[in-house]
Amino acid sequence: MNRLELLEKTQQLTDETKIRFYLGDKEISNRFDRNSSHQYKPGDTVTTISFALYSYIANAIILKAQGEEKAKEGYLAFDQEWESIISQCNIKINPKIQKDEALHFLHSFLFSKNDITLVDLIEKISFICLIKTMKERNLSYRKISHLYHKKKDVIINQVTLYSRSLYHSFLNRKDLDSQKIDMDKDNLSNGILLYDHSELFIPTWQNAFHIEDYKSVIKHGLSNCSSTFPLTDVNRISVLYMIKDITATYEI
């Protein structure tokens, strides 16, 4: 199926019993709350920065686990995406220098045995995410930089929570083969992963435990997939709840 067909199929979903919830490999009870109201809403600026940081870091972690050849391909994709983000960026500091420093640090993480922490990655990559969010929200660099430094602890905590959730709910699966994980190399900030060509993972920070909110998460995720991302063989869509360590899977 193509993206439009997947979207049509999932948006027709009305029976929540067709959605199965998992904690890692273990199936758990349905977590939908029939009495809840719709809660899906766009993220605020801080959450947008945190999600972009999480997406880049999650992809970097996966590339490192996949080995040097795939890491080289991913590194080039990072370079191209970050170069695009900083283009036509009119700020006082030199964005090219900041981007090259972030890329150099990413290279060290991917290909060296240096001890690099999650906080190290957040601090080095944050500039790219600030520029990205600045342009998307039409903000000044001064304003978004001030916000980042004011909310830095919150952002670090959010990215840490999201990263741990990815590990507990997906990367820690007993039968997982990291070589079968694909990321959207033409949009590395969407956080979306494809496993074994067939299962699409869409992460969300939303508390989307109403079926309509669940469908909104899928709609948003599919709309953020690049046109080159291979969706033809997808027959399962799993929403990764990054605040709960669980996934909700719909078999199409």
Could you tell me whether strands 246-251 and 236-241 are parallel, antiparallel, or unpaired per DSSP bridges?
antiparallel
Of 188, 192, 182, the C-alpha closest to 81 is: 188
Q: Residue 125: how many CB atoms within 10 A of its CB?
A: 23
φ/ψ of 196, rounded to 5, equals 55, 35
> Which pLDDT score is estimated for 88?
86
From the CA atom positions of the chain, what is the Rg in Å? Answer: 18
Residue recorded with tokens 């939303």? 206
Cβ contact 217:202 at 8 Å: yes
> Which pLDDT score is estimated for 37?
64
Cβ contact 218:141 at 8 Å: no
> What averages of pLDDT result for each successive group of 10 residues across the chain (252 residues)?
93 94 92 74 92 98 97 98 94 94 97 92 96 96 97 97 95 93 98 98 93 94 96 97 94 94
Cβ contact 173:24 at 8 Å: yes
Of 158, 201, 159, the C-alpha closest to 176 is: 201
DSSP at 240: E
Of 248, 217, 237, 208, the C-alpha closest to 30 is: 248
Alpha helix ranges (H) inside the chain: 3-11, 45-66, 68-86, 95-111, 118-137, 141-150, 152-166, 211-224
Note the residue count of the chain.
252
**Tokens in use for 93?**
């500091």
Q: Residue 252: how many CB atoms within 10 A of its CB?
A: 15
Q: How far apart are CA 83 and CA 128, in angstroms?
A: 9
Task: Using alpha carbons, list the distances in angstroms from residue 148 to 15, 101, 119, 228.
Answer: 41, 19, 14, 32
> Which pLDDT score is estimated for 43?
86
Cβ contact 138:215 at 8 Å: no
> Which pLDDT score is estimated for 78?
98
